[in-house]
Chain A
Amino acid sequence: TQLLEQSPQFLSIQEGENLTVYCNSSSVFSSLQWYRQEPGEGPVLLVTVVTGGEVKKLKRLTFQFGDARKDSSLHITAAQPGDTGLYLCAGGSGYALNFGKGTSLLVTP
């Protein structure tokens, strides 16, 4: 099993602050995905990173895939209350995914 460790586990910040969350593994992945899960709902895909060193931007969210394709980070600029949720990274071989335990983010006004 390819384990994914996410940090921090919990993060509470005020609106307007910047933050970075991390996803690390000792395994190499052909791709990594980031999902966001809101309370009472299933995870929803934010982005897939495929190439080592790749950087993808989604509005105020910036995703980076490590050069060795073992780790990834998610940076949020000027966080808003609507960014509150559980951020999960996922990777695996074939179509089955292993998920990290996630970073629970709370953004207060």
Chain B
Amino acid sequence: DAGVIQSPRHEVTEMGQEVTLRCKPISGHDYLFWYRQTMMRGLELLIYFNNNVPIDDSGMPEDRFSAKMPNASFSTLKIQPSEPRDSAVYFCASTLAGGPREQFFGPGTRLTVL
């Protein structure tokens, strides 16, 4: 079975550029989560969706960050404009409602903003 798929795995961009990260959750999962991981702050929840609807975006750091989930099998996290302090590993995870709340993580996207 395919797990959570994220693309790209690595992204290097220059300050001011737009960055789009992509995620395909596990088929049938109805919750999707976006996290950011840094050494200083650890793993932070940015936003999560239930049945494609954003439930809580209080972790999104600034208006430069936006996330969408146009359908059950695809989500994007966009940063516009990007800044060096956005450099981090971004993870997408999914889980199934009514289950044991185990979150299945993708391999992450390592973002470097120069």
Residues of chain A at the chain B interface (Cβ within 8 Å): 31, 33, 40-45, 48, 88, 95-102
A88 to chain B, nearest CB (A): 7
* Contact between chains at A95 and B42 (CB < 8 Å): no
Q: Out of A88, A95, A102, name the residue touching B95 (CB < 8 Å).
A: A95
Per a CB cutoff under 8 Å, which of B48, B102, B108 touches A45?
Answer: B102
Q: Is there contact, CB below 8 Å, between B42 and A48?
A: no
> From residue B1, how far is it (CB to closest CB) to chain A in Å?
15
Q: Are B107 and A40 in contact (CB under 8 A)?
A: yes
Distance of A102 Cα from B102 Cα, bound (Å): 18
Tell me the chain B residues, 66-114 only, with Cβ under 8 Å from chain A: 91, 93, 95, 97, 100-103, 105-108
Given that A42-B4, A42-B93, A88-B43 are known contacts, is A97 also in contact with B108, CB under 8 Å in the complex?
no
Which of B31, B43, B100 is the one whose CB lies under 8 Å from A99?
Answer: B43
* Shortest CB distance A62–B (Å): 20
